[in-house]
Structure formats: C-alpha cells, structure tokens
A and B are shown apart, each in its own frame.
Chain A
Amino acid sequence: MHWTDIAENYDFLMKGLFITLKLAMVSVSGSLIIGIILGVLRYSKLFLLSWFAVAYIESVRSIPLILFIVFIHFGALPYLTGEPSSFFVSACVAFIIFTSAYIAEIIRSGLNSVEKGHIDAAKSLGLNRMQRLTYIILPLAVSRMTPALVSQFISLIKDTSLASTIGLIELTRSGEIIYERTYHETEILIFIAFVYFVICFGLSKLSALWETKPYMCTEHREPVGANQ
C-alpha cells in the first residue's frame, strides 16, 4: 500500500475539498431560493403558475444530473454567452437547476403537511392568505422540512463529484489527477470516499439530533420527502 501518496498530496486534496464545499454551498443557496419559489408556485391555487411548476419539477426529476452538467457546460452556456463557460459556473448552474426541483417537492409536501385545523383556526382569526402563509403555515412547515432538506443537501454534496467529469478540479478530480500519475488508485479512492463519508454522515447525524427535538411539533411525524 502507498498511503504516503495522500500525505504528499494533502494540500492539493484539501484544495479540491475546498472547491467541493464552495460548490455545494453556492449551489444549495441558489437552489433553496429557486426551490422555495417553485414550491410556493406549486402550492398556489393559480392554475397556470402551479402547472408551470409541476412541468418544471417533473421533467427535471426524470432526467439524469450528468445530462444537465454536460449539456450546460458544452451546449447551453457557450451558446447563450458566446464564449466557453468556466467549469465552476456551469457546475453551479446545473446543480441549481437540478436540486431546486427536489427542494420544491420538499417545500410543497412540507406546506401540505400542515393540518387543516391550523389553517381553519387562522382563517377564523381573520388572517388573510398571505398572513396565514407567513405566520402559520411556513413556521410549522419549515421545522418539518428540515430533515428532508438536510438529506437533499447531503445528496448535493455527493453529486458535486459529477462536476469532475467536465474538468472542475474538486475533490474527486484532484484525486484522479494524483492517481493518474502514481497509479495507486485504491488508496486515493478510499481516502476520498472517507472524506465524503465524514462530511455526509456527520451532517445526517446532526440532522437526526434536530429531528428528535420536539421543536414546534405536537406529535411525532415522519419527515417529509425522502433522500434521493
């Protein structure tokens, strides 16, 4: 075994890890914003808006992520801007388009999980639709959506490894660059898998801690949505 490869290239790998985390943070912020808009659109009673949201969500959810990444990097962005796109930007755009559809689904099922009794009570207090959404439905829904959102974020961190295929030097690609030179694939791949495992497993354990908190929930319920 050649574990010294990792120690020798430690800085390079950590630089890759930094890019991976940066990519995940930028993408998750962007897809949260778009996902919330889409989720509320889908929840809304306006036919055209909810129909648009359904069409977007369902079509994005049935296409592989790698198709988006490659198409946006080599096809869409260069065509729209007229010049080659940077790896980081195309990866971000692809992840935001892809993950926002999943987040919209989580938002919608979170909104739907609010019992009718709460909404009726709010109506009887004379709150209008916007007030009901901001004061009653959203605070309840957000606490229930958190586990599903965290698991979507974990999926996204794992998916960032796909950005290596268009050439972005994140954690996976930096590992590839090392073993393409040294031919010691096993050690590097185990190390990279370990890094991903620590991040993702740690996050899922953190979210499990949150789940056991009886925060704003009167009864135990299954988290909405599911990990991919």
Chain B
Amino acid sequence: MLQTIFSADFFAAILRATTPILFATLAAAVAAKCGIINMALEGMMLFSALFGVIFSSMTQSWLAGLLITMVLGGLIGLILAFFVLNLKTDEILAAIAINLVATGGTVLLMLAYSGDRGTSTSIQSVPAPALHIPFLQDIPVLGDLLSGHNLLVYLALIAVVVIHLFLYKTPLGLRIRAVGETKNAAESVGISSRRVQYIALTISGVLVSMGGFFMSGGYMSMFTKDMAAGRGYIALAASSMGGNTPIGGFLVSVLFGIAQAVANVMQLTTIPTEMIQMLPYLTTLVGLGIYSYSRMKKRQRLAGK
C-alpha cells in the first residue's frame, strides 16, 4: 500500500481530487472577501459541469466549451448578485434557491438537449486535454509527477497565485477587501460597494464554473446528476477554515484532495472507507473551531487595547 501512496498515480489522484474543490474554494474566498457567503457555489458548479459537456460537444472544442461555461458561470454570479444586492434577498436563501434550480434544471436541460437521463452517455463532449510540459516530462520521476495532468489542474494552481495577486496586489482587490470588511469606510472614500460586490460575485461564478467544467471534463468525462456532491459546501468550509485567503484555501483543499485520494486507495484495505471519508469533514470542523476561537480571542484582545 505504501507503494501505491508514493506513486505518481497517487499524486495525480490527489491533484485530480483537489482541483474542483480548489476552484470552488477560491470562488468562496473572493465572495467572502467582499462580505457575501456564496452558498450557491454548489448549484453553480453543477450547472457548469453540464454546460461544459453541452458546449464542448456543441462546438467540438474544449476551449470554446470552457469559455462559454465561464461566461455562463459569471452570469449566474450576476443573477445571485442581482437578487442579493438589488432585491435584498437573504443570501443563504437565494443560494438555496439557486442550488435547487440547478439540481432540477441540469437534469431537465440534459434531457432536453440529448434525451439522456441521469448520465450524459450520448453526448460527445470534448474534455480539456492533458498537458505534457516539454523538457519537464523527460526528467525522470519529476516528469512523471509534474507533467501530463489535465490542463485545468494547472489552471487551478495558477488561479491560486492569480487570485492571491488579484486580492492583495491590485486596486480592485484592495477595494473588495475593504468593502467586505467595513462597507462604510469604503463608501466614505467614494467606492461603490454594490459595484464591487457585483464584480466579486461574478468572478466567484467564473472561478467555480472552471471547477464545474473540470468535474465533467477531467475528473470524469461525462455529466452525471448531482455530480457536485457537496463540493460547493466543502469549499465554503475550506475557505472559511483557510481564513478566506487563496493560500489558506489552497492548503485546506489539498488536505481534502489527499483525504479523498487516500480514501480511494483505502477502499482496498480493511479500514472502513466511511471512517476515512469522514476525516476531511472532521478535520475541517475541528480546524474551523480552532480558527474561529483564535480569531475571537484576537478580537477580544484588540478591543481591550
């Protein structure tokens, strides 16, 4: 079993399991930074998984499929923003509504598009290709480890850096953080909080849609009903435990990825699978407790200053 764990295949399995959650976690972080809990990630991911299959098959191009999926993902983010910011809908209830529509809507859409029920067997979708990195792939061991993964795996890793730079190094990122933390302060210097939140939720939608695209065109090669399977919620917890930072979220997502990959391997052993499947959630719960506790103490300390 140790051999399995230290193999390149296992490493690839971790990356594969991490990628969709990582995209969603980044999406959660961007939304949280602007002050909104985006629980609709679950539904957004599900929609995007289906859009990926439909549009890549329609255009017979993974790139066009991905781009359309990203645009539509951003659009769902906009819809959420419209309800939350303009119609003053409770963000949690709006998210539950979007998730419900996604659960039913994806099945209906797929049925209407292909006549498939539950699984998109008759759609000829085009998943994103694996990326073989020149030179790197020829290096022994390292080449096996680092080269040859799905393109979106690399994009997810790049996205961590990009979102980190975006949030912490660009004017818009600074404004998002300011709006999320103290709306009044941001508005007092002439920043429109509504506009900033619209942008952040749209970005959140685009990010999670890439995770959704990977679900049906990378992690698996088809769409199945309810395939997000709670990843949107996990992402919410992961982001929260990671302090709503891209780097923190990345580390927690990897923890999830490892736990899931281990769980897959462990299925061959005598340790109950369910116990291992519980681990990531348990870790997050404990981590969340510790993180919140330390933040509470810090707040108390600062208030007493």
Is the pairing of A and B real?
no
Which residues of B pack against A, CB within 8 Å?
none
